[in-house]
Amino acid sequence: MKLTDRIDIGGGVAVSPAALGAMNFGTTTSREDAFAVLDMYVGAGGNFIDTSNNYAHWAGTGDESETLLGEWLESRGCRDDVVIATKVGFDRHGTGAGLRREQIEYWAGESLRKLRTDRIDVYYAHTDDTSTPLGETAEAFASLVREGKVRLLGCSNFDTWRVADATAEAERRGLPGYRVMQQRFTYLYARSDMAPKYIFNETAGRERLRFLYDRKMPLVAYSSTARGGYADPSRLPPDLIAGKRYDFLRMTACELGVGAGALAVAWMANLYRVPGMPRVIPLFSSSKPEHLKENLAGVELELSDGLLDELCRA
């Protein structure tokens, strides 16, 4: 597999097998470094860039990532060469939470303005809103699709049964539904005795993977490199289980002469080759171009069927 390969995720949208996250661009990652990382990713053949209308509000206002990305798109003149994904529905300093019609319409307009574009390629419901009727949310998203402002719809931080209900409601109304899911996922298993920070941002487990395979929905895996925990064990999130699976990954990566993070990326990018597993698109970010190289190398790392099976069974 190569970064220049393209995966059809529906609606005529084709993306590279790994996505670049822009969450910290413009806040903890400087404009200069963000531009360099974006240039490197696209120069290497990547085209799938992920942001949100609230990134990174805990380190700024929430406008920084989309605004910087819009400036980069305009300065490089490459809008038609990339797939831009953004989101709506999460809180940003006490505003923006929810998937009501007025919320979706307002923030879609704000995202288009900041991104300096006329369309959003993939528009995610950033987290579930159980207080708003599914039909209202579906109608609001469908209006954006009809107007040409959005090409494809996705969901993030939803329980699988709610995705099923939302899909059924959209189908009942003859409206476009969610076609791609973004959720926490990495090589290591999550601890079952620790709740996630937000109610719906569980790490994807076997049941969710089976659901996605059945529904033919790709999984865009955020936190795919465990916040740098494969390169530096001290950074490993406490809600992930290290143990023998972690040890096997690091040992095997050493034998292959690559970083453990690169091997984890390779495993996710190749998981679709395992019977019953969905297409997984690892999503990762970097604050420096040199930090991006290892993850990109993982996309093109060749895994034999035997090694892929060993990694799955570890």
Where residue 77 sits, what CATH number does that domain have? 3.20.20.100
pLDDT one-digit tens code per residue, 4-29? 999 999 999 999 999 999 999 999 99
Q: What is the pLDDT of residue 89?
A: 97
Residue 13 lies in a domain: yes
pLDDT band at 290 (very low <50, low <70, confident <90, very high): confident
pTM recorded for the entire structure: 0.97
Q: What is the pLDDT of residue 294?
A: 85
Full residue range of the structural domain in which residue 220 is found: 7-313
User: Can 55 be counted among the known catalytic residues?
Assistant: yes
pLDDT one-digit tens code per residue, 172-186? 999 999 999 999 999
Does residue 63 have a pLDDT over 90? yes
Does residue 238 have a pLDDT over 90? yes
Q: b/e per residue, 185-222, with b = 16+ CB within 10 A?
A: bbbbebeeeeeeeeebbbbbeeebbebbbebebbbbbb
| Domains: count for the chain | 1
Residue 176 lies in a domain: yes
Q: What is the pLDDT of residue 138?
A: 98
Q: What is the pLDDT of residue 1?
A: 87
pLDDT band at 291 (very low <50, low <70, confident <90, very high): confident
pLDDT band at 257 (very low <50, low <70, confident <90, very high): very high
CA dist 223 and 266 (Å) reads 15
Residue 27 lies in a domain: yes
Catalytic residue among 55, 124, 178, 187: 55
Residue 2 lies in a domain: no
